[in-house]
Amino acid sequence: MQTESTARLSPGVYRVGDRRSYRVAPDGTVRSVRPSGKPSRQVVGRVTAGSLQVTGNGAEGGHAGDLLALADGRGTQVEAHCHRCGTRLTDPDSVARGYGSECRKAVA
- CA nearest 65: which of 78, 54, 50? 54
Q: Does 85 bind Zn ion (CB under 5 A)?
A: yes
Q: Which of 24, 52, 89, 103 touches Zn ion (CB under 5 A)?
A: 103
**In 17-108, at which residue ranges do the beta strands (DSSP E only) sit?**
20-24, 29-33, 39-48, 51-54, 75-81, 88-89
Binding mask 44-83 for Zn ion (x = CB under 5 A): --------------------------------------x-
* Site residues for Zn ion per CB under 5 A: 82, 84-85, 87, 100, 103
